[in-house]
A and B are shown apart, each in its own frame.
Chain A
Amino acid sequence: MRLEPRTETGIGLRLAAPIAAVAASFLVAALLVLIGGASPFAVFAAVIKGALGSQFAFLETLTRATPLIFTGLAAAIAFRARLWNIGGEAQLYAGAILTVMLGTGALALPAPVLFPLILAASALAGALLLLGPTILKTRFGVDEVVTTLLLNFIMVLVVSMLLDGPLKDPMGLGWPQSKKVIAEAIWPKLVQGKRLHLGFLIAILAALAVWFVNARTTFGYEMRAVGFNPRAARFAGIPVNWVMAKTALLSGGLAALAGVSEVAGLKGNLTLDLSPGFGYTGIVVAMLAALHPVGVIAAAIFVAAMFVGADAMSRTVGVPNYIANVMVATALLTMVAAMLFTRFRLRRG
C-alpha cells in the first residue's frame, strides 16, 4: 500500500473528510461508553437531545459556539500562513482584561462610543500579544509554538494577579473576580430572556469577513503564498515578514474578541474560569473546518453541541461529560488523517 497524490480534490471529498472524521470519533466514544457499561445509543440520544432537543438547548449550543468561532478563526487564519498560534487562550484573556479595564466604569461614555472602543482596544491587545512571538520567530527563528503556548500560562497568572489586585471587585466578598461591566458596555441578547447574545452575530460576520479577505484580497493571497512556500514567496518579492506580522495581528485580534464576547456578552465580569480552554478548542475547530472560515462556523457549532449535549447527558444518563473531550480530541486526530486522504489516495502495489 502506498500514498499517491491526488490530481484534484473534489468538493464532495472535502466535505466527506470532516464527516468521516466525526463518524470515527463517534465510534471510538461508543466503544468507551460500552466499556463503561452504558448503552451508546442512549448516551448519544441524550447528547443530541441535550444539544439540539429544544429551543433552550439549541440556543445554549450557539452561545457556547460563539467564543469557539472567534478562536477557531484565529487559529485558521494563522495556520493558513503556517504561523502556529497556540496562544488563543492568552489572547482571549488579553481581550477580556481590556474589556474589564475599560468597561467597568473607567470610561463613562454612551454605548455607541464605548462598544467599538472596547472592541478595538481589546482586539489590539490580543493582536500585540501575538506580534511579540511572531517577531521573535521572523527575526531570531524562535519557535512560536513554544512561545505562544507558554504565554497562555503567563496570561492566566497575570489575570490571577490582576483579580487579586487592581481589578479586584471590592464588593466581591474576597472572590478573585472583577467588577461587573456597566450597562453601556453590555452586549444585547439576541433572543429575549435567553443567553444568546450579539457576539454570535459578530462571530458570523467575522467569519464572512475572513472568508472575503482570504478569497478576494491581496493580503489573503499573500498569506496563502507565504504559508505554502515562504522561500518562493520571498523570491517573488512578497514581504514575508510583514505578511507574518499582519497575520499575527489579525489572528491575535480575533482570539481577543472571544474574550470580549464572553465578558461583555455573557458573564459580565472577568473570573479565572472565564474560558474552559476555548483557545485550545479553537485549534480543533480550525482543523475540523480544514482552515476554511465558513467551515469554522459549522465546526464550532458541532464542538459546542458535543460539550453542551454531554453536560446534559451526564445529568440524565450518568456517563461523565468528559466523553465530550474524548470525542472532540478523537475528531481532531481522525480529521488530521482524513485531511491526508483529501490530498493523497491509497493505492495497492
Chain B
Amino acid sequence: MHAESSSSATHGPGEVVLRLAGITKRFGPLLANDAISLDLHRGEVLALLGENGAGKTTLMNILFGHYVADAGEISVFGQVLPPGSPKAALAQGIGMVHQHFTLADNLTVLDNVMLGTEPLWRAASRRAEGRKKLAELSESFGLAVKPDARVADLSVGERQRVEILKALYRDARILILDEPTAVLTPQETEALFATLQKLVARGLAIIFISHKLHEVMAVSRRVIVLRQGKLVAERVTSTTDRHELAELMVGRPIPEPKVEPMPRGAAVLQLTGVGVDDPKSGRRLLQDASLTLHGGEIVGIAGVSGNGQSTLADLVSGMVKPGRGKVALFGEEIHFFDPAIMVEYGIARIPEDRHVQGLVGDLSLEENLISARYRAAPFSKRGLIDWKSVRDFANRVIADYDVRCSGPQATTRLLSGGNMQKLILGREMAEAPRVILANQPSRGLDIGAVAYVHRRLLEARAAGAGILLISEDLDELLALADRVVVMHRGRVSLPLTRGHIAIRELGLMMAGHGFAEEGGSHAA
C-alpha cells in the first residue's frame, strides 16, 4: 500500500469503510489471489482493473462470502467480517450488482426489490412501506423506475437500475459493480456514471470492476490493477493515463493498432437499396440500405444496438434474405442467401455471440474448426471425415492463432472468451478471405485479446480484404475504420471518412439526426 499515503491527502477521502488484508485464495495449482490488501474509503469509486482471469471476480466472491479465503482478513467499518457468509456481508451493508442480472423476469420491479428482504408471509403487508422506500430512493438518486412494471418489459439499462436500487433498498453502504457497462449502450453508460457520482456524493463507497480503460478513467478516483492474482499497481486516476494502465494490466507494452494507408481496391460487397422485414411481425429491420465495401478497407458500422446492425450481419452471413434491393459480391449480384453459400463465396463471418452462433460448446476444438468446411476435401472424402487432416489443420490454427488449450480434442466450452474468439478467427481467416464480417469482434475480451483481434483484422486488410466492422465501441471504430457509417432504425447513413469524424457528430447521428431528410417518413 505504498501509494496510499500520498494519494489520500489530495482528495481528502473519508474514513476507511472496507479493508482487505492479505487475501489469498488457491484453486488447486492456481493462485487466484495472492496476498491482496486494499482499502476502500467512504465516498470514492475504486476501480478494480484486470484482464479476464486476473482474480477480480474471485476477490469479490471472497468479499461477498461466496468463497472462503485460504488466508487473510476482511473488515467492514472496522469489524471483522465472518468468512463464507453472504448473509453477514449483506448485513454489513455490502451490495453487489452482478454482470448478469439476478432478477426474476416475471415479477414487478417492486417485487424484485423487496424479494428476500422480508419474510414471505409478511411481504404483502409491507408492500406499501416498500413502495414508499423505493420511491424515496429512486427520487434521491435519480434512478427512475416504474415500481409496477414487469422486469421482463424493461430495457437492459432499466434492469441495472433495479439491481442498484435492490442493493440500496438493503441499505448498502458499499456497492460492488461487476463489469456493469458490458451490456449498456453509450447513453446508458453515461447515465450509470452520473448515478455513481451521486451515490458517492451521498457517502457510499463503490468498487467498479472493469477491463475498459476509458470507463475506469472516467468514473474512478483510484485504480487498483490486478494481474495473475497479484495486486501489481495502485494509482490515483488523475495521475495516470490509459496507456500506463493498459501496460500494467497486461504486463507488457501494448502497441496501438497501426493503420497504414492502403490503396482502395475494387468493390467486394455492395448493397443497393436493401430492405429486410421481420418475417413474423413485418417490422422493417433494414430499410433502403446502401453501402459499398472495397478491398483493403475497413468500413465501421456505428449505432446504438438494435438499430439493424444484427440484420445487416445476418444478411451478409446468409442467415436472412433481402426483401428488396440488390446485394452484389465481387461485382456480381447474388440471388441465393444461405450460410453455406456465403462460405462458398469465401466470406469470413465473425458472429456477434460466440456461444450462440460462433461455436458449438460441446464439440471439440477440431470439430468446431471444420464446421463450415467439413463437406469438402481435405476434411472429408465421399462422406467420410479424414480426422488426420482435421487434426493437422487444428494444430496449425492452434499454433498460428495462439489458442491456449490442452489440445485439438479439448472441449470448446472450457476455453476462455479470448481463446474462443481466436478459434473463430483462425477458422474464418485461415482461407485468406476477401470479405470479412466482424460483428462485435472484441466484445467481452480483455485488452491483450482485443489487441490481437485488431492486429489480425489489420493484417487481413493489408492483404486486401474488405472488412465490415460492426461495433458499439466508438474508440474501436475510430481506431480501425477507414470509413464509418451510422445505423439508425434500420437505415444506413452516408459514410464519414477517417480523419473527418467527430465523436460528437457520430453521437448525434446515432441518436437519429441527419436521417430524417433521407427517408422522409422515418424522422427520429
A residues apposed to B, CB below 8 Å: 5, 7-8, 216-222, 224-225, 228-229, 231-239, 349
Contacts and interface: CB of A to CB of B under 8 A. Distances in A.
B363 A231 contact: no
B372 A231 contact: no
A235 B411 contact: no
B372 A236 contact: yes
Contacts of A7: 406, 411, 414
B52 to A, nearest CB: 17
Contacts of A224: 360, 363, 367
Given A218-B374, A221-B367, A233 B383 contact: no
A237 B362 contact: no
B358 A217 contact: no
A225 B357 CA distance: 12
Contacts of A236: 339, 343, 371-372
5 contacts: A7-B414, A8-B411, A217-B385, A235-B319, A237-B318
A282 to B, nearest CB: 24
Contacts of B387: 216
A235 B351 contact: yes
A229 B358 CA distance: 10
B82 interface: no
Contact of A221 (B357, B385, B413): B385
A235 B367 contact: no
A291 to B, nearest CB: 12
B340 interface: yes
B56 interface: no
Nearest to B413: A5
B128 interface: no
B357 A231 contact: yes
Nearest first, the 5 closest Cβ-Cβ pairs linking A and B are A237-B340, A236-B371, A237-B339, A228-B362, A229-B360
B419 to A, nearest CB: 14
B193 interface: no
Given A234-B319, A235-B349, A349 B67 contact: yes
Nearest to A225: B360
B84 A349 contact: yes
Interface string B237-251: 000000000000000
Contacts of B342: 237
A110 B384 CA distance: 35
A233 B372 CA distance: 9
B273 interface: no
Nearest to B338: A237
Interface in B353-386: 356-363, 367, 370-372, 374-375, 380, 383-385
Interface in B316-356: 317-319, 338-343, 349, 351, 356
Interface of B: 67-68, 84, 317-319, 338-343, 349, 351, 356-363, 367, 370-372, 374-375, 380, 383-385, 387, 406, 410-411, 413-414
A216 B339 CA distance: 24
A104 to B, nearest CB: 37
B357 A218 contact: no
A225 B371 contact: yes
Contacts of B410: 8
Most-contacted residue by chain A among B356, B363, B370 (CB, 10 A):
B363
Contact of B362 (A8, A229, A235, A349): A229
B356 A231 contact: yes
A239 B413 CA distance: 23
B361 A228 contact: yes
A229 B360 CA distance: 6
B370 to A, nearest CB: 8
A219 B383 contact: yes
A150 to B, nearest CB: 28
A229 B357 CA distance: 8
Given A232-B371, A235-B339, A349-B68, 16 more contacts: A5-B413, A216-B387, A217-B383, A218-B384, A222-B374, A224-B363, A228-B361, A228-B363, A229-B356, A229-B359, A235-B317, A237-B318, A237-B338, A237-B340, A237-B342, A237-B372
B346 to A, nearest CB: 13
A5 B341 CA distance: 36
Contacts of B375: 218
Nearest to A217: B383
Contacts of A238: 340, 371
Contacts of A349: 67-68, 84
B317 A216 contact: no
B367 A239 contact: no
A45 B372 CA distance: 55
Given A233-B360, A349-B68, A218 B411 contact: no
A312 to B, nearest CB: 42
A230 to B, nearest CB: 9
Contacts of A239: 340
B476 to A, nearest CB: 23
A237 B384 contact: no
A94 to B, nearest CB: 27
A266 to B, nearest CB: 35
Contacts of B385: 216-218, 220-221
A229 B362 CA distance: 8
Contacts of A228: 360-363
Contact of A225 (B319, B363, B414): B363
Nearest to B339: A237
B374 A232 contact: no
Given A217-B383, A218-B374, A349-B84, A232 B356 contact: yes
Contacts of B341: 237
A238 B342 CA distance: 12
Most-contacted residue by chain B among A219, A233, A235, A238 (CB, 10 A):
A235
A219 B68 CA distance: 48
Most-contacted residue by chain B among A7, A8, A225, A236 (CB, 10 A):
A236
A216 B367 contact: no
Contacts of B363: 224-225, 228
A8 B317 CA distance: 33
A86 B14 CA distance: 66
Contacts of B349: 235
Contacts of B356: 229, 231-232
